[in-house]
Amino acid sequence: MRFLDLIRAIALGILTPLLEKNVVKTLGVDVPLVFSMSRVIVLGFAVAMLHQIWYAGIAGWPDATLAISIVLALPILAALERVKPSEAVAFAKTLVNRFGLGDVRQMASVYGGETREPSKFDDHRADE
């Protein structure tokens, strides 16, 4: 019985960061655990970004900015829950207006190297 209690404690310790912390969101549901979708989505992005960095590296400021924003996503989401909708929209507009600024160098792909065959959908003309 102690082994099962140990496994249960470890599983709850792993799942706790993914659970919904807002009591209002959990009141209407009659289940013992409610997962926070924003936390699950942030975890998915973090895993994908870690995979990309692990295999291809960071290729400039856009990649570094994305990695930093994933780290800051949960505190920002918590702060945005407490502000007025108009302030949240203004904040999102400020962030989106910054996209596309800065130089970018080419980076390696996680999904293949230079020896890969070209795609059958590529028309082999220089992109303009």
9 and 59, same domain (yes or no): no
The answer to whether 65 and 74 are in contact (CB under 8 A) is no
> Are 7 and 44 part of one and the same domain?
no
The pTM for the full model equals 0.53
Q: Give the whole-angstrom CA distance, residue 128 versus residue 124.
A: 12
Are both 29 and 60 inside the same structural domain?
Answer: no
CA dihedral 49, 50, 53, 56 (to 10 degrees): -90
Domain match, 54 and 24 both: no
In one-letter notation, the amino acid at residue 16 is T
Residues 46 and 78 occupy one common structural domain? yes
Q: Does residue 115 belong to any structural domain of this protein?
A: no
Q: Do 24 and 43 have their domain in common?
A: no
Reference 60, options 108, 5, 10; nearest CA is 108
> Residue 110 — pLDDT band, cuts 50, 70, 90?
low
CB contact set of 38 (below 8 Å; sequence gap of 6+) = 73, 74, 77
Do 25 and 49 belong together in one domain?
Answer: no
* Digit-coded pLDDT (tens) for 46-59: 888 888 888 887 77
If one counts the domains in the chain, the total is 2
User: With DSSP H G I counted as helix, E B as strand and the rest as coil, what are the percentages for the chain, rounded to 5?
Assistant: 60, 0, 40
User: Does residue 69 carry a pLDDT above 60?
Assistant: yes
82 and 70, same domain (yes or no): yes
Task: Provide the residue range defining the domain that includes 19.
Answer: 1-35
Q: Establish if 111 belongs to a structural domain.
A: no
Give per-residue pLDDT as tens, 71-101.
888 788 778 778 888 888 888 888 778 776 6
For residues 46 and 97, state if they share a domain.
yes
In this structure, is residue 9 part of a structural domain? yes
DSSP string of 43-60, one letter each residue: HHHHHHHHHHHHHH---S
Same domain, yes or no: 43 and 23? no
Q: How many beta carbons lie within 10 A of that of residue 122, not counting itself?
A: 9
Q: What is the pLDDT of residues 5-55, one digit of tens each?
A: 888 888 878 887 778 777 777 777 777 778 888 888 888 888 888 888 888
Tell whether 48 and 89 lie within a shared domain: yes
pLDDT band at 126 (very low <50, low <70, confident <90, very high): low
